């Protein structure tokens, strides 16, 4: 019996036993060289893998042959082959619901030469799958680079940092990982007015909390009058609950676009 037939039978038996089969990929070295796939036909994919340890990692993929006509889908899976994030644009990345990708495409999300996803600290082994959506075949180039810790996060790139970051005046941050919640503590004089500016983020929201009670839920462009010293402000992505982006204008940000950035504008009487 030929080896390929034996392999096929084994895979079939494993699938019948509900054993999760995780296909390996070409190993990416963080801050190492770019890996290039073989030519991919339409809807054909190439698979890579990367280990994310003590530092956050950004994975970049690009179409090498089709230029501005190129179109890719970049998906990231965890070690159990569960989809973590996907993107069809460098403007932002989103949760795994396929209808969200379709909606983004329908809205004409700008296609750029690079497709990227940020992966948070301590994620371990992650699998990268790049699919060619263009009509013409292409090779894809993929690399993994370290993300600089953001200056307003006390513990670097932690996804959920329970320690609030103090602010006493207008300040800015960025949501760069799916599910990220930034926690701020107001240390200025009050009562003050706080307004949320979401910048280019798909949909950002903020909660003002005092003593465990929510005083206000802010959408982009909304404000709350009455901010007091010691109040907490929680900022996270809204809408489908799982959008995130990139940062460019803040110190320590190197993603090249500001789609995850937001500003908390504070004014006092």
Q: Over the stretch 142-174, which tens digit does the pLDDT of each residue have?
A: 999 998 776 655 434 445 556 788 999 999 988
- Quick one: pLDDT at residue 129? 96
What letters, b where the CB count within 10 A reaches 16 and e where it falls short, cover 83-103? ebbbbbbbbbbbbbeeebbee
Identify whether residues 137 and 26 lie together within a single domain: yes
Q: Print the domain residue range for 226.
A: 165-267
Residue that is last in its domain, among 146, 178, 212: 146
Q: Answer whether residue 62 is part of any domain.
A: yes
Identify whether residues 41 and 142 lie together within a single domain: yes
Q: How confident is the model at residue 249 (pLDDT cuts 50, 70, 90)?
A: confident
Backbone angles phi, psi at 98, to 5 degrees: -65, -30
- Quick one: pLDDT at residue 154? 42
More confident site: 198 or 15? 198
Most confident option among 13-27, 111-125, 233-247 = 111-125
Identify whether residues 27 and 66 lie together within a single domain: yes
Identify whether residues 100 and 135 lie together within a single domain: yes
Q: Is the peptide bond before 191 cis (omega within 30 degrees of 0)?
A: yes
Q: Answer whether residue 151 is part of any domain.
A: no
C-alpha–C-alpha distance, residues 257 and 146, integer Å: 16
Q: Answer whether residue 15 is part of any domain.
A: no
Q: pLDDT by residue (tens digit) across 32-85?
A: 999 999 999 999 999 999 999 988 899 999 999 998 788 899 999 999 999 999
Mean pLDDT value of segment 226-255: 83
3-state secondary structure of 68: helix
Sign, CA dihedral 182-219-223-213, equals negative
Q: Answer whether residue 111 is part of any domain.
A: yes
Q: Answer whether residue 179 is part of any domain.
A: yes
Q: Answer whether residue 181 is part of any domain.
A: yes
The domain tally of the chain equals 2
Q: Looking at residue 124, which CATH number applies to its domain?
A: 2.60.120.380
Q: What percent of the chain has pLDDT over 70?
A: 78
Identify whether residues 217 and 106 lie together within a single domain: no
């Amino acid at each position: 019996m030929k080896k390929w037939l034996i392999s096929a039978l084994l895979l079939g038996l494993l699938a019948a036993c509900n054993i999760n089969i995780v296909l390996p990929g070409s190993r990416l070295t963080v801050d190492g060289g770019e890996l290039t796939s073989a030519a991919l036909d339409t809807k054909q994919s190439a698979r890579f893998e990367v280990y994310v340890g003590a530092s956050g990692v950004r994975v970049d993929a690009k179409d090498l042959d089709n230029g501005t006509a190129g179109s890719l889908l970049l998906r990231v899976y965890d070690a159990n082959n569960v989809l973590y994030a996907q993107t069809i644009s460098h403007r932002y990345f989103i949760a795994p619901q396929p209808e969200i990708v379709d909606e983004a495409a329908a809205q004409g999300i700008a296609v750029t030469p690079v497709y990227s996803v940020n992966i948070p600290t301590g994620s371990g082994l992650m699998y990268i799958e790049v699919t060619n959506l263009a009509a013409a075949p292409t090779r894809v180039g993929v690399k993994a680079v370290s993300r600089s810790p953001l200056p307003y996060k006390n513990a670097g790139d932690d996804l959920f940092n329970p320690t609030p970051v103090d602010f006493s005046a207008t300040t800015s941050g960025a949501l760069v990982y799916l599910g990220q919640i930034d926690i701020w503590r107001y240390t200025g004089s009050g009562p003050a007015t706080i307004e949320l500016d979401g910048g280019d983020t798909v949909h950002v929201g903020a909660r003002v909390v005092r003593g465990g009670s929510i005083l206000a839920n802010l959408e982009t462009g909304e404000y709350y009058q009455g901010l007091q010293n010691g109040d907490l402000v929680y900022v996270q992505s809204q809408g489908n609950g799982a959008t995130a982006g990139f940062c460019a204008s803040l110190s320590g940000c190197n993603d090249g676009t500001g789609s995850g950035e937001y500003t908390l504008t504070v004014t006092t009487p």
